[in-house]
Amino acid sequence: MTSTPEAPRLRAISRPLAAAPPLVDLADAGNPLLWTRGDRGCVGIGETLRLTFSGPDRFAEASDAWRAIGANAEVDDPVRMPGSGLVALGAFAFDDHSGEQSVLIVPRILVARHRDQWWITETVDLASEPASNADPADPELPAARPRGEWAGVEFAAAEGSIDAYIAGVREATRRIDAGGIEKIVLARQVRGEVPAGSDLRFPLERLADRYLDCWTFAVDGLIGASPETLVRSTSGAVSARVLAGTRARHADRPQRDAQARDELLTSTKEQHEHAFAVQSVVTALSPHVRDLRTSEEPFPLRLPNVWHLATDLGATLHEQSSAIELVGALHPTAAVAGTPKSVSIAQIAELEPFDRGLYSGAVGWIDAAGDGEWVIALRCGRLGAADPDTGARPFVATAGGGIVAGSDPEHELGETVSKLRPITEAFAR
């Protein structure tokens, strides 16, 4: 269901900038809207439009709504880059039946950077701002607000949740042994509390500085740094990165670390699981693209917390599919659901005692041309509503992994600890 039956009339004005402060500095301290990796990305300040979606058709409805908004918009964009002009940032829930809403947010001001090119976009809703309609002015770069407090967040697993996770992994392997399913991705959660007045730019800056091969994001309270590009679609070029297979890093013991990497590269089980994950993305993407190619051998992707087995895909878009349509076609991949897809989704609903919400859904951005970049919402947590007395906000982080025949529950638990590290460390004091 979309929350706006008729497309609003938006006006977006983009202008090049000579330079700007670091994107993180410009973000709102309490409700950041950010998408960044190295010398690229964007930050949103204020909100002109928020669309919400839910249910099994959330991607199709979002794609249609965005197309209508684009067709109805006045866009003045001499910058002409992917991500200039009218842009929305968004986050989509994992499950068709999630109680959490998927969103597209058009910020009032968007400051964006692509290497040494900077630009600013201001988007207004013409219905609610008739005065500015008469005399459109160039957008002004807002000043970065001074940093506030960061007292840190400590995380804990809810009582019984680790036992429940272990029992879930055991039951998943039992069901896999019984046949009809090869892989089920199971996750668990830890919870912390963000004190009132905390400046979320502290953890965001840590994520962005440490996880250089990841997209650091903050959209509607979903905060994290994901290594897995679901799809990037810019000017007809489509790419994706598939991850499956994980080992903890041993950054202070180089030999042990190299051994972990080699184990991952030579394990038949991991290679098999990885091939499945790649195949699921190839199958989903094929109807929309031509010249689909993959990196030859899975390569080891080194992140500060884990090694992953990775494959990069590239292709050419052969029809007018928007980035959100591609996301809808790909989601959920075997990396976050399992194989076969529909059976594994049903198993997750039975075996995980919580609604995943936006975790393992998709987070990214789309522009008026339908170009965009979306990652799988991993290595992240979600802020909840503030306590009316204390102002503190709950923050729930989720991480999981693929369970296959022979998976060891303790080992899987350890893997979730490694995958939670980006968040637990970035949010620490």
Ligand X SMILES: C=C(O[C@@H]1C=C(C(=O)O)C=C[C@H]1O)C(=O)O
Active site residues: 183, 228
Cβ distance to ligand X smaller for residue 261 or 308: 308
33 is an interface residue for ligand X by CB under 6 A: no
| Beta carbons within 8 Å of 348's beta carbon, 6+ residues apart | 95, 184, 185, 186, 337, 338, 356
Contact 32, 200 (CB under 8 A): yes
Q: What is the dihedral of CA 259, 249, 213, 185, to 10 degrees?
A: 100
* Listed ranges 42-50, 172-180, 347-355, 397-405: which one lies at the site for ligand X (CB under 6 A): 397-405
Question: Distance (Å, rounded) from C-alpha 109 to C-alpha 13?
Answer: 10
List all residues 6 or more positions away from 419 whose beta carbon is below 8 Å from its beta carbon: 246, 305, 306, 378, 379, 399, 400, 401
Q: How far is the CB of 413 from ligand X (least distance, A)?
A: 13
Interacting span for ligand X (CB under 6 A) from 156-164, 172-180, 315-323, 395-403: 395-403
Assess whether the previous peptide bond of 332 is cis (omega < 30° from 0).
yes
Selected from 176, 244, 278, 303, the binder of ligand X by CB under 6 A is 244
SS (H, E, C) 161-172: HHHHHHHHHHHH
> d(Cα 107, Cα 367) in Å, to the nearest integer?
12
Please check whether residue 134 is in contact with residue 145, taking contact to mean a CB–CB distance below 8 angstroms: no
- Using CB positions, name the residue nearest to ligand X: 335
Using the rule CB under 6 A, which residue among 67, 288, 379, 421 binds ligand X? Answer: 379
Phi, psi of 120 (to 5 degrees): -130, 145
The answer to whether residue 245 forms part of the interface with ligand X (CB under 6 A) is yes
Considering the complex, state which of residue 104 and residue 225 has its C-beta at the smaller distance from ligand X: 225
| Of 143-151, 170-178, 204-212, 240-248: span binding ligand X (CB under 6 A) | 240-248
CB atoms within 10 A of CB 319: 9
Residue from 200, 208, 399, 423 in contact with ligand X (CB under 6 A): 399
- Residue 273 beta carbon to ligand X: minimum distance, rounded to whole angstroms: 7
Nearer to ligand X, 82 or 401 (CB): 401
How far apart CA 79 and CA 13 sit, in angstroms, is 10
The one-letter code for the residue type at 8 is: P
Shortest gap between Cβ of 259 and ligand X (angstroms)?
Answer: 18
Which residues 317-356 are close enough to bind ligand X by CB under 6 A?
Answer: 335-336
Q: Would you count residue 168 as binding ligand X (CB under 6 A)?
A: no
Shortest CB 270 distance to ligand X, Å: 8
Those residues whose C-beta lies under 8 Å from the C-beta of residue 401, and which sit 6 or more positions away, are 185, 186, 187, 246, 412, 415, 416, 419
Which residue in 90, 370, 401, 422 binds ligand X (CB under 6 A)? Answer: 401
Binding pattern for the stretch 259-278 against ligand X, x by CB under 6 A and - elsewhere: --------------------
Alpha helices in 246-353 (DSSP H): 254-266, 268-285, 323-330, 341-351
Interface pick for ligand X out of 70, 361, 402, 422 (rule CB under 6 A): 402
Q: Give me the least distance between CB of 419 and ligand X, in Å please.
A: 4
Applying CB under 6 A, does 301 fall inside the site for ligand X? no
Tell me if 345 sits within 8 A of 56, measured CB to CB.
Answer: no
List of residues 6+ apart from 321 with CB closer than 8 A: 233, 288, 329, 370
Alpha-carbon distance of 246 to 41, in angstroms, equals 27
Cβ-based nearer residue to ligand X, 176 or 336: 336
CA-closest candidate to residue 323, choices 119, 70, 108, 94 = 70
Give 98 or 246: the residue with its C-beta nearer to ligand X. 246
Does 419 engage in binding with ligand X (CB under 6 A)? yes
Minimum CB–partner distance for residue 402 and ligand X (Å): 4
Query: Least separation, in Å, of the C-beta of 58 and ligand X?
Result: 20
Selected range binding ligand X among 41-49, 72-80, 125-133, 243-251, rule: CB under 6 A: 243-251
Radius of gyration from C-alpha coordinates of the chain:
21
User: Under rule CB under 6 A, how many of the chain's residues touch ligand X?
Assistant: 17
| Minimum distance of ligand X from residue 420's CB (angstroms) | 8
Q: Could you tell me the two tokens for 140?
A: 């002004």
* Interaction pattern, residues 186-225, with ligand X; x per rule: CB under 6 A: -x--------------------------------------
Binding site for ligand X (CB under 6 A): 185, 187, 228, 243-246, 308, 335-336, 378-379, 399-402, 419
